[in-house]
Chains A and B, each alone.
Chain A
Amino acid sequence: MKTNVKLRDCNLFRLVCFIIIPLLFLVFCALQPKSYITGLVITAGIYIVLCASLNLINGFSGMFSMGHAAFMAIGAYLSAFLTLSANVKMNMTPGLPGWLIHAQLPFGVALIIGGLAAALVAVIIGFPVVRTKGHYLSVVTLALIVVVRAVIDNQDKLTSGSRGLKGIPTKSTILTVYIVVIITLFLLYRIVRSDYGRGLVAMRDDPTAAQTLGINLVKKKISCFAISAFFAGVGGGLWAHYLTAISGASFYFTKSFDIVEMSIIGGMFTLSGSILGALFYTVVPEFLAPLENGLRIGGLQLPSMFGLSNIIMALFLIFLIIFRRQGLMGRSELLLDSWFSKDTYLALFRKKDYARLAEGFLNLFRRKKKAES
């Protein structure tokens, strides 16, 4: 029996590692909603939404946008306006139009409207933006962050200025965030697997060839920009309802760079990469935090070195860019392929999948032996 079955190709293995275990973990978190670990998992979930939407534009369409924080801000503010009570808004943001002050919508609707507003802005600024390419496009999108920040800080009556919005209801729980994560990933997965998505990739790899094959580049770029902005807006809404207090300062360059960084770490050419990147970026600094506080190894007390985790992350990023430019996940869509395929779930009832799993394990040991000898 000489086959080449690898463990990661076994449906059952995928089911256990990528679906059942994470799901159990989420349930474990959901049972202790206030704990620190739950907070981290929620943050990671929001970052997955943001990073996946950034990957659509940066990885698949080839336009390197840095303006995610701006779309986040729009989504965050608008969704917060829609869930805050009229009383609070009357005090904080008296300049809002009357209907918006009295509007109070369910969280899901507020998120979607926030996303749509971000998408609308993306369409409007899309026309000048898509005229630029490469670095110029990045700079233009960075400028968008500055514009949005200036509006937030200076339109006192509308946005409460730099004082920011406070007392936003806590609606981002494990359940709501991960429902949004799954929907977002599913939609994006379908998009990149559709002819629309293949068109995006074609445009990224060779715009001229794509155009000669009948792809309308401008339409494609603007729509892709808008889709990405929509999910960024939704992510921003989740963010606002998790932190409960937001201001222009929370959506500035650093936020954008954070998302770009996780996108690069995870791998920006796949959606699975965004998941890995977001998890990595949220979890690893937490492991480095004890180092900053002056770790005690045996009897040796290290001095506290605040900022160390940033330095280590930066060094890691540099090495990653040099030695593994495609990101940790590379070009494999392993995670989403397993999540959104019927086979993974049906494997539980198929005999041949159990056989494959056994084969996969056997192969693993064979390879190990080979490597040892």
Chain B
Amino acid sequence: MKKIATLLLALAMVFALAACGAGGGNGGTDDASAAPTEEANGGGAAVTGDVIKIGGIFNVTGDQSSIDAPAQKAFALAVDEINANGGINGRKVEAVFYDGQTDTAVCASDAKKLIDNDGVIAIGGLSDSDYAYAAGAVAQEAGIPIVFSGATTPDIPDVVGNCAFMTAFGDDVCAHAAAEYLYNEMGARTVYVLTDTSMSYTSNLSAYFVERFKELGGEVTLEDHFSSGDYDFSAQIQRYLATGETDAMFMSTGPDDASTVIEQYRSAGATAPMISGDGWDADLWGVAGDLANKDVYVCTHYSTGDTSETVQHFIAAYTEKYGIAPENAFAALGYDCAQILFKAIEACGDDITAENIRTNIEAINGLVCTTGTISYTADNHVPDKTVVVTQSVDGALKFITNI
């Protein structure tokens, strides 16, 4: 009897879920006026009520949480701000967030859920390309525009399709900036490259860096690899020291390994300047302590030291709402991602459809954001932004130059 009860229970749950699914746009919230949408097929979704529903997918649990959680908080902050200012053309914005759990399948399912159950008109979020591809494919199929806050692989719009937009610059731009800074500003001619091969972000970054540095006329003396989670770099350090110190080191690792890498290389006596991409816009000092303040450079999206009104306003608002300053640049990107969506929705006027939002994002030109000025065209969904080179000084990243 117990068995049959469990079975029936399971079946009942499946059907209850089906009922939710059939309920369509009215599922998730008790806002009676919430955007009744058509079944999303081929960009048919439209806003007719006085609430604009947008979706947010962020990996707030799992490995990605250190960069996605701040991004989500900033995204929510942007939504609060726009509603406090009367919404967009008199309509309130409602953001529905789902946790991607650092799992590609969950991200895809979240995108389906947002479009199908919650009837969102556009989606923002995700700071890594692996998850962006999965969620993007779903959004593309439904014709819903999706703006990735922190994903940086430049081929995302090509792979996903015309509904995908990036808030950040591509890895190629970031790595090229690092190469140019080393070669032109620092005068480095030989370089050592360490790559985490377990992430597409780090592999891409190294490849673009090596390509550009060689193009400029520099020499890559040694390329070495590791896999995220190794925690022990002694073999790599030995190989590096055996080949002799270079003018600079390009360390392509994710945020979690950054501090460990600095600590182990510096303790072992490697003194050359270290430079990395936006993955190092993280806690560099946790393990390394003061060692992280010795000649460590990070090419990233923005600098908290930027005195422009947009950046200072963002930092103040974030600090006021959450009690801490923005943890890293991905928070700023999450904020900008929301601004892009708002701008495009505003340009739709009263005719808010997914397709209109998409074309209006393409039409964005010179939108001033915390991480630079953003412009798109129909052919280019990756904004061409400046890269900020920062140096780690006294436990913070200090602005050096724009490239």
Contact = CB atoms under 8 A, between A and B. Distances in A.
A343 B176 CA distance: 70
Interface string A200-225: 00000000000000000000000000
Contacts of A293: 28, 96-98
Interface string B1-20: 10110111011011101101
Given A36-B112, A310-B61, A164 B130 contact: yes
Given A36-B21, A163-B200, A293-B98, A245 B109 contact: no
B96 A243 contact: no
Interface in A303-317: 304, 306-307, 310
A276 B6 contact: yes
Interface stretch (A51-59, A99-107, A129-137, A324-332): A324-332
Contact of B105 (A161, A243, A304): A243
B60 A306 contact: yes
Q: Is the interface of B mostly helix, strand, loop or mixed?
A: helix
Contacts of A156: 203
B223 interface: no
B142 interface: yes
A37 B116 contact: yes
Contact of A283 (B13, B112, B141): B13
Contact of A25 (B14, B61, B112, B159): B14
Contacts of A43: 105, 109
Interface in A328-371: 328-330, 332, 334-335, 367
Interface in A15-58: 17, 21-22, 25, 28, 32, 34-37, 39-40, 43
A28 B22 CA distance: 10
Nearest to B13: A283
A120 interface: no
Given A245-B130, A245-B133, A276 B10 contact: yes
B203 A161 contact: yes
B109 A40 contact: yes
B227 interface: yes
Contacts of B153: 163
B134 interface: yes
Interface in A289-308: 289-290, 292-293, 296, 304, 306-307
B104 interface: yes
A232 to B, nearest CB: 16
A283 B17 contact: yes
Interface stretch (A77-85, A108-116, A180-188, A247-255): A247-255
Interface in A151-173: 153-154, 156, 161-164, 166-167, 170
Contacts of A248: 198
A279 interface: yes
A334 B11 CA distance: 14
A21 B97 contact: no
Interface in A280-294: 280, 283-284, 286-287, 289-290, 292-293
Given A34-B40, A306-B61, A334 B13 contact: no
Nearest to B96: A293
Contacts of A249: 104, 130, 198-199
Interface in B140-180: 141-142, 153, 159
B197 A162 contact: yes
B198 A34 contact: no
A271 to B, nearest CB: 14
Contact of A21 (B11, B22, B117, B142): B11
Contacts of A284: 13
B115 A36 contact: yes
Contacts of A289: 98-99, 113
A190 interface: no
B45 interface: no
A66 to B, nearest CB: 17
A198 interface: no
Contact of A37 (B6, B10, B21): B21
B204 to A, nearest CB: 7
Contacts of A164: 130, 133, 200
A245 B137 contact: yes
Q: Is the interface of A mostly helix, strand, loop or mixed?
A: helix
Nearest to A304: B97
B103 interface: yes
B11 A17 contact: yes
A244 B8 CA distance: 34
A153 B226 CA distance: 10
A283 B159 contact: no
A36 B60 contact: no
B30 interface: yes
A36 B117 contact: yes
A330 B4 CA distance: 11
A243 B13 CA distance: 25
A280 B109 CA distance: 16
Given A244-B137, A306-B99, A150 B200 contact: no
A193 interface: no
A63 B67 CA distance: 40
Given A279-B10, A283-B13, A290-B28, A34 B109 contact: no
Given A167-B159, A283-B13, A306-B99, A28 B134 contact: no
A334 B3 contact: yes
Contacts of B112: 34-36, 39
B170 to A, nearest CB: 14
A280 B14 CA distance: 9
Contacts of A239: 105
A158 to B, nearest CB: 13
Give the most central of A35, A246, A289, A292: most B CB within 10 Å: A35
Give the most central of A156, A306, A328, A332: most B CB within 10 Å: A306
Contact of B203 (A163, A167, A276, A280): A163
A125 interface: no
B266 interface: no
A162 B200 contact: yes
Nearest to A329: B3
Given A34-B142, A36-B112, A245 B30 contact: no
Nearest to A272: B7
B34 interface: no
B91 interface: no
Given A39-B112, A163-B200, A328-B6, 11 more contacts: A17-B11, A34-B112, A34-B142, A37-B20, A37-B116, A243-B134, A245-B134, A249-B130, A286-B17, A307-B99, A310-B101
27 contacts: A6-B4, A8-B4, A25-B14, A25-B15, A34-B40, A34-B116, A34-B142, A35-B21, A36-B109, A36-B112, A36-B117, A37-B18, A37-B21, A39-B112, A150-B227, A163-B153, A243-B108, A244-B137, A245-B104, A246-B104, A286-B17, A289-B98, A304-B97, A307-B60, A310-B61, A334-B7, A335-B7
The 10 closest A-B pairs by CB, nearest first: A37-B21, A245-B133, A36-B116, A36-B112, A163-B200, A307-B61, A306-B60, A39-B112, A36-B113, A153-B197
